[in-house]
Structure formats: C-alpha cells, structure tokens
C-alpha cells in the first residue's frame, strides 16, 4: 500500500485567470457553496488572505477583506455630488455591498436593486452577511430581473443610478452599450447622475475607450476615476461618472458629510480623479472615438 502522507499536506488553491497569461491565486480553507444558477457558475470560498470570496464564472466579484474599497467608491462619489439623492437604483450588485453604502446617506427614501440572478442575492444573504446586511432595510426594494429592461422602462425616475455589473460577458454585455447609457440618462431626473464600474486601465483599455465614448454620447459631464482593489485584475480599477448636471469635481470637500468609510473620504473624492498620464491618454483617445460616432 502506498503511504498517503501527501494527503495531509494537501492544500486547495483557487486561481482566477484574469487574462490568458495572468492570474490571481488564493489559498482556500473551504468551499462554502458551488452551483450553476442557470445564469452562471457561482462559488463562495473561504480564503486565507481575503476572507470569504464571491466568484462568478471563475471571476472574483468581491471579498470580505477588500470589498469596502469598491463599494464605497462606486457609491459615495455620486451620492455626494448630488445635493439630495432620494431615489437610487443599483443595477447588478446582488451581493448588496453597494446598497449598504447607499443607505449611509440619510436623504435616501428608496433604493432599488435590480439583479438578474436571484441566487446571488440568496447566497450573499446566507454567506456574506457583512456585505448583504443592507438588503433587509425597509428603504430597499429588490427586483429580480433584467437591469437593461428596468432602465429602459424607467423615465426620470432616479437621482442616482449605480451600475455594479460583472465583466462585460454573458448577461452583463448590455450594461456596457451606448444604448444602455442613453436609457440610463433618460431614467435619471434632469439633474441625476450615474456611475458604472469600468474595469482595469491595464487590462481593459479598449473597454474603457468604448465606455467613455458611449457615456459621453449621452451625458454632458463624463469623468473617470480610480481606486485600488487588490483582488481585481491589475489591482487598479476604474469607474466612470455620467452626469446630467453636477460635476463631481465641483464638490466642495468641506460640504461632504462625515461618513463611516475606510477608503472614501473628502480628499479621495477629488484625488481619485487625478489620473496618471497613461490613463489620461486613454480617456483622451476615447474623445477621438466619440467624435467619430
């Protein structure tokens, strides 16, 4: 009989192949959930370094350790740019982290979450309570359905729309199109604004050019900003604001109310828009693409 000593040392590692030649690898203590939801493959892993991790179609969506960066940054820039956001829509974001941050603003009367995959919401409720806890708030309405359709049918309905999507594959493709941004613009009140997560300036340059051009085609104010998110491809992540009136850069830092946050703060509100030249160049190239549309 062979000795099974090797088994005692067995380690489980998860790798997201972020590109065809780069990946992120994390040691996994255990797998809490793994299933096909009908929309996508979903897993919740307990990792050594980042705590619990939500993985959709092999791609890290959020982890307990670094989710605060993404969720604070996708929310508070827009929420503090609008003087009094009352109605907010989150498209995607079934884990609830974006909703949790939206609810930190006392002006909010209703926050609508439109998530296509109800299983993501259920899994987050069960396994990621620190992220999903806002979903139980009475101001929150959860709609399991297609965000593209919801937005198409909403007219002047929201002050802020946050597009908390997965990568532009599968169900999320439509959330990156110029037609969708036009519908988002129409779904906003006349002084409303949106933010979309727009991927990595290292690995997704074409997507950033395209989304910049698409958002510019509908919004008079379009601005890209950055945050550091260790578990996302390249660690450097972009968000894009499309605004019908207010400019996030015109916000007086002294007017930003104190919030219980760990990454976003009045200084970061402005600093996040300070772009390294290679990112500024990308945004500039998008202007050229946009002119041609």
The contact set with ligand AG3 (CB under 6 A) reads: 16, 18, 59-62, 70, 93, 95, 97-98, 164, 166-167, 197, 232-233
Cα of 129 vs its chain's centroid, Å: 18
Instruction: List the alpha helices (DSSP H) in the chain.
Output: 5-8, 67-81, 97-102, 118-127, 129-132, 147-153, 178-187, 205-216, 266-271, 277-292
Answer yes or no: 164 catalytic: yes
Q: Rounded to the nearest whole angstrom, what is the least distance from the CB of residue 5 to ligand AG3 in the complex?
A: 36
Q: Rounded to the nearest whole angstrom, what is the least distance from the CB of residue 203 to ligand AG3 in the complex?
A: 9
Q: Rounded to the nearest whole angstrom, what is the least distance from the CB of residue 148 to ligand AG3 in the complex?
A: 16
Of 66, 105, 68, nearest to 86 (Cα)? 105
Comparison of 94 and 290: residue with beta carbon closer to ligand AG3: 94
Q: Rounded to the nearest whole angstrom, what is the least distance from the CB of residue 81 to ligand AG3 in the complex?
A: 20
CA end-to-end distance (rounded Å), the chain: 70
Distance CA 220, CA 187 (A): 15
236-243/41-47 β-pairing: unpaired
Q: Report the SS3 class of residue 62.
A: strand
> What's the token pair of residue 234?
């390249």
Q: Rounded to the nearest whole angstrom, what is the least distance from the CB of residue 61 to ligand AG3 in the complex?
A: 4
Q: Which of 95, 117, 159, 164 is catalytic?
A: 164
Distance CA 132, CA 188 (A): 25
Q: What is the 3-state secondary structure (H, E, C) of 176-234?
A: HCHHHHHHHHHHEEEEEEEEEECCCCCCCHHHHHHHHHHHHCCCCEEEEEEEECCCCCC
Catalytically active residues are 164
């Amino acid at each position: 009989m062979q000795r099974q000593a090797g088994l005692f040392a067995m380690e489980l590692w998860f790798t997201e192949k972020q590109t065809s030649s780069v990946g992120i690898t994390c040691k996994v203590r255990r797998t809490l959930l793994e299933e096909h939801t009908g929309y996508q493959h979903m897993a919740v892993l307990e990792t050594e370094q980042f705590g619990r991790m939500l993985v959709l179609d092999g791609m890290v969506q959020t982890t307990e350790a670094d989710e605060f960066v993404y969720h604070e940054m996708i929310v508070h820039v827009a929420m503090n740019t609008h003087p009094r956001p009352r109605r907010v829509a989150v498209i995607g974001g079934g884990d609830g982290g974006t909703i949790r941050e939206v609810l930190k603003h006392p002006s909010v009367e209703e926050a609508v979450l439109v998530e296509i995959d109800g299983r993501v919401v259920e899994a987050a409720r069960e396994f990621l309570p620190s992220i999903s806890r806002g979903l139980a708030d009475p101001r929150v309405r959860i709609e399991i359905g297609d965000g593209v359709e919801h937005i198409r049918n909403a007219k002047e309905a929201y002050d802020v729309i946050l597009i908390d999507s997965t990568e532009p594959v599968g169900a999320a493709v439509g959330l990156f199109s110029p037609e969708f941004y036009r519908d988002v613009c129409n779904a906003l009140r006349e002084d409303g604004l949106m933010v979309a997560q727009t991927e990595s300036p290292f690995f997704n340059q074409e997507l950033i050019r395209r989304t910049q051009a698409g958002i510019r085609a509908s919004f008079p104010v379009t601005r890209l900003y950055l945050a550091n998110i260790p578990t996302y491809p390249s660690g450097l992540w972009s968000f894009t604001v499309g605004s019908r009136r207010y400019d996030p850069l015109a916000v007086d830092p002294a007017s930003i109310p104190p919030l219980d946050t760990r990454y976003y703060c009045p200084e970061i509100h402005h600093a996040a828009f300070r772009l390294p030249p290679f990112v500024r160049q990308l945004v500039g190239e998008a202007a050229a693409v946009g002119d041609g549309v």
